[in-house]
Amino acid sequence: MQKIGKSYIVGLSVARKSIFWGVFFFYFLLIIRPELLYHSLGRMNSWPRFMVSKEFFWETICNCGGLLVYLSALFSLCMSLPWLGTLFITLIGLACWWVGKTVLGKSIFKGIWILAYLPSLSIIFLYNRYSNLMTELLGLAISLVFLAIYTKCLFAKQYKRICIFGGIFVLMMIIAKEYCIYFAILAGIFEMLHSKNRIVGFCYCIIGMIIYGAGYNFYGWSANFLDINYLSTKTDRALLYLIYSLYIYFLVLIGLGSVSIRKTGEDKKKSKYVSGKIVLYFCEFIVLAGLSWIIHNQQYISQKALLESGYMSWNRDWEGILLTAKERPPVLYNILRYYDINKALYETNRLPEEMFNYPQDKQSLVLIEEEGIFQEVKNEIYFRRIELLIELGNIGVAEKLAYELLVNVGEHPLILSQLALIHLAKGEEETASYFLNKYKYVWKLGTEMEYVGLKEWHICEEEGIEVLTKSDIVQQAQKNRYPINDVFGKYSLSNYYSELLKKNPCNRKAYDYMMASLLLDKKLDEFAGCLPDLTRFGVKQLPRHYQEALAIYLQSRGMKDIKRWGIQPEYLHQANTFLQSFVKCKKDRDLAGQMLLKDFGNTYYYYFMFATVGEQK
């Protein structure tokens, strides 16, 4: 009976671990998606770029904590290959679990293995916020490894332990800078509760505190480290505090356990398997599942949607962007998603046909950032704005923004390629070569290479700058280039469209964006003035939204010169129907909006009547 029970429990234990780590691995791979983490330029603000050069190695390694920075830069690259990134994070999670389990095994609470899983759950929780935690994770992993080494010496003499602690602490300071504080505190708690001379353990903690607490903005550091600023809701914070409270609880348990070991000497005895443990296992399983569910529900869906949208934009997956827009309409950080939607519509020649099928924001066309936006998101907006400006031909403004991004974010391959393109478009090959030379030293893997622009730069590495100069991307930028040496002040595209079109009347993007901008601004007089230019692009029939806007314009002018515009009668009829319905419920604007939404929600009539300029529909 005893044997059957034992094997059953062992089997249950193995199954529990397998399930947990299987779920961990696939959750990270399929739900969090490391490629999205890597994709996010904004997140890479604090993401050190790895470079294949001796200089980078020595420059990084010679600083205090340089090894950790170097390793985190190196291992951050794993994220570009989804399976590798997932494997790496899973291994870190496993290492934390193993150390936790080993330590817990020495305590009287060794049955409560659930505590060993908590660090792994918090890893998932924080990655669900789409922050790059590589440095923190490696710092934690290194501290735990050294802690495990230190715990092996717990039965050595006091002076030896102090020497070992000192050595490890200095070593950790050199390789991991502030993360030595983890080690100091953990080792201190151990020592305090294990040794007869508890003051030593207390001193361990104090050493860590003094070195990194005093003279340092501890609150700022901890808030920054815990990513508290980024957790927007009270629930987020409460959950994070809960996890960290459990950590502290866990540490206290370890300490108490150690005391218990010292007193009872039970550490060498094997645990007995009793039938009651099955119930315990079951309870743990329930608790784990519950915690996992809570953590899953805390995922930043809007942030993920934003990253997905940007990622699909890299890969020119326009249909994917539009599908996501319908499934998960923009809620937070709208501007980039609105921009992606309009870009996807433009690239599939559907902007004037379908733009009002999707939520719109006037500012998204020119990518003017919202107030109070995070710096990381700002960086991403900057990056996309540079892309837009290059496509439109406004090279001068793009240059300014690209250099600002270079200073702010660092030598990211995308920024380097943008700067090279800008200088090639300006005919400055020598300057472009600096960026391309640097570009060769930056590691680029997996998803990054999917970015269409980068593929061409990769060719350049093999075949030289001359090939690149003749490439479509450079030729297009040169063709559309804004030639006039004006002085520009605050960033604005509105004045540039007409100049761009003067230089190159076939600049279709400038035309489409100008018309979209006029529609969003409800400037129908100007819109009507520019409409005849559409014939330049060989368009025979007016697109849907242009017809709708024209119908409103003609209604407002008493239907004069209808034939001149070539508007289809059905649009005039639609506009008429819309207006009649609107007039019926004119007194209650909200009711009118709800009533007309079903039939006219995707038309310009609806936008014109109900959208306040600058607000989303």
> Can you give the binding site for another protein, defined by CB under 8 A?
55, 394-397, 399-400, 403-404, 406-408, 411, 423, 426, 428-431, 433-435, 437-438, 440-441, 481-489
Report the residue number, 55 or 327, with the smaller CB distance to another protein: 55
Contact (CB, 8 A) for 370 and 338 = no
Contact (CB, 8 A) for 282 and 13 = no
Contact (CB, 8 A) for 510 and 500 = yes
**Three-state SS string across 225-263, please?**
HCCHHHCCCHHHHHHHHHHHHHHHHHHHHHHHHHHHHHH
Give least dist CB 408 to another protein, A: 6
Report the residue number, 430 or 561, with the smaller CB distance to another protein: 430
Give least dist CB 604 to another protein, A: 33
Residue 127: both structure tokens together = 């990655």
In sequence order, the 6+-apart residues with CB closer than 8 A to the CB of 614 are: 361, 362, 363
Report the residue number, 44 or 261, with the smaller CB distance to another protein: 44
Give least dist CB 173 to another protein, A: 16
Contact (CB, 8 A) for 363 and 615 = no
Contact (CB, 8 A) for 110 and 104 = yes
H or E stretch at 120: helix 114-127
Residues paired with 442 in a beta bridge: 51
Phi, then psi, of 51 in degrees rounded to 5: -130, 140
Give least dist CB 481 to another protein, A: 8
Give least dist CB 367 to another protein, A: 17
Report the residue number, 293 or 488, with the smaller CB distance to another protein: 488
Report the residue number, 485 or 612, with the smaller CB distance to another protein: 485
Give least dist CB 97 to another protein, A: 37
Report the residue number, 74 or 406, with the smaller CB distance to another protein: 406
Give least dist CB 30 to another protein, A: 37
Residue with tokens 């990518």: 367
Report the residue number, 1 or 407, with the smaller CB distance to another protein: 407
Report the residue number, 193 or 424, with the smaller CB distance to another protein: 424
Please compute, for residue 417, the number of CA atoms within 13 A of its CA located in the half-sphere on the CB side.
24
Contact (CB, 8 A) for 359 and 443 = no
Give least dist CB 489 to another protein, A: 7
Residue type, 184: A
Residue 591: both structure tokens together = 């009711």
